[in-house]
Structure 1
């Protein structure tokens, strides 16, 4: 195979700009079919994005002989079912984060991929964005010396612009999303911590529903001790007052500090009390660099940019921070 023809299951808001158009923009890739349970919306998406086929049933898309690989962009509850169905049909899968509704579901997905010998990649796409690649290179170069600890804060008011809008607000339904906004946003951050610092020795957290306005926890704290003795501390709160927003990750080393937002476009590198700001252009399609890597992997031209086994570790952190 020299070209991947993609089908999307769940062509909702997240695929409009972040990911969907990128499948036609990366080399050796094209989007040939989309699926949404609402047939009218599926047809509308296909028309607006120039996609030849649309379905209102996932099985029909998976069994379409023209579809080589499947991108699953539904809410997390459906990730396991559709991933397993596609893998069983011999179709490689690129599945959105979080990988599943919990770590046990993610492990079942990985087991099926191994059983059938079919490729599975998880969309922890920040790994391949220029800003986060630069941070990894700064760490590899020991630009701030030996890493000591990491502090992360994600503070947002109830109404914020960080997540894609959804008609039914499923992100606040734990039965569908696994949790609240923490489960939607923290996978980006925790995956990067694992990507940068390796395996964990121990982790624990606290999660509470302070506002009582929704059936999900709105304050989460988490602590990680990595095997290399680097310590991570994070706090996520989604009920701070307007104007109190914070999105900051600070990596402290023996010679300086790297500071950056997870949803921004610059890095502050501080060494010996002197700070340099590195700025990056906003990406039109934030998943495009990752999708390019996934296409290369599915064509046997590169390694898996985020394996199921790696993503399971992120799911275990999510569970460990929030399970009572």
Structure 2
């Protein structure tokens, strides 16, 4: 079937869809948002009215089977990603699914199998790949602005009461049954996906994860190490219980001629060569997912490559599982 316009349905029109992604479905060319779904009917109706969406549902199957909807965006907590992705693909509808792709890498692999089995497209919302700041880093790496890459040092340090992520009514992000893990599973997918995007295939990876605070059931300190096939080494530290003044969001890429330093949740790259810092500033995007959604629309319309395939996103899930030893814990 040849589509000329993508008519989206959203399953799970919660926080992430208010500003980050939702409005972009109507702003992207050849794309419109025609239906939304939440289990809470009142909230679904409220979202539809505020965003001018013609239809709302409280049942996911009804949205999936709506004949007008020809593509589906899944923005539920990770627990439901696999089920709704596979149901949508079975209904012949391409899927754009939020990160992390699923509860774990096994579930993510089943989603890829379904996409291939049904011959229906699947893209994952590792949307930082297409933001100007991260594309600039990619081009700096490709033109060897800092020479040959040696290693990457990433630190994501936050005090226990942090507001970097959207707040949800019940904090499902720290419930492993719903999110797969804690804040690491919420924030690290972006970071690890970018490392794969920049540095390619992985030779080996391992990590350490501990719950040091004794609060809750999830790891609050994770370290991870990757050796890429090209010889580049990555070291990451994620700690969610540091002192307020130690809060840090920084990734540094070291090369033979200098260093590229940047935050994951910020707007400036610092390029250091011969001891000189050059600051490259970027404007905040109104809707952080818009560049990605535009590319996904083009992909679904056969006008572009897949900006982030299920196969690529599975590798990120394998890193999450590997660093937190989920593979051994099961």
TM norm. shorter chain > 0.5: yes
The counterpart of 1:281, out of the listed 280, 283, 286, is 283
| Corresponding residue number in structure 1 for 2:174 | 172
Unmatched runs of 5 consecutive residues or more in structure 2 = none
The Cα of 1:52 is off from its aligned counterpart by 0.3
| Corresponding residue number in structure 2 for 1:105 | 107
The counterpart of 1:307, out of the listed 282, 306, 309, is 309
| Corresponding residue number in structure 2 for 1:265 | 267
| Corresponding residue number in structure 2 for 1:250 | 252
Q: Secondary structure at the match of 2:244?
A: coil
| Corresponding residue number in structure 2 for 1:66 | 68
TM-score by length of 1: 0.99
| Corresponding residue number in structure 2 for 1:35 | 37
Q: Secondary structure at the match of 1:236?
A: strand
| Corresponding residue number in structure 1 for 2:7 | 5
TM-score by length of 2: 0.98
| Corresponding residue number in structure 2 for 1:145 | 147
The counterpart of 1:295, out of the listed 275, 287, 297, is 297
| Corresponding residue number in structure 1 for 2:163 | 161
Cα deviation, 1:243-295, whole Å, max 9, x if unaligned, reads 21100000000000000000000000011111100000001100000000000
Q: Secondary structure at the match of 1:5?
A: strand
Q: Secondary structure at the match of 2:285?
A: coil
Aligned residues: 324
| Corresponding residue number in structure 2 for 1:118 | 120
Q: Does 1:93 align with 2:95?
A: yes
Cα deviation, 1:185-242, whole Å, max 9, x if unaligned, reads 0000000000000010000000000001111110000000000010000000001111
Q: Secondary structure at the match of 1:243?
A: helix
Q: Does 1:24 align with 2:26?
A: yes
Cα deviation, 1:13-40, whole Å, max 9, x if unaligned, reads 1100000000000100000000000000
The counterpart of 1:233, out of the listed 235, 238, 247, is 235
The Cα of 1:106 is off from its aligned counterpart by 0.2
The Cα of 1:2 is off from its aligned counterpart by 1.3
For 2:56 and 2:160, how far apart are their aligned partners in 1?
A: 35
Q: Secondary structure at the match of 2:23?
A: helix
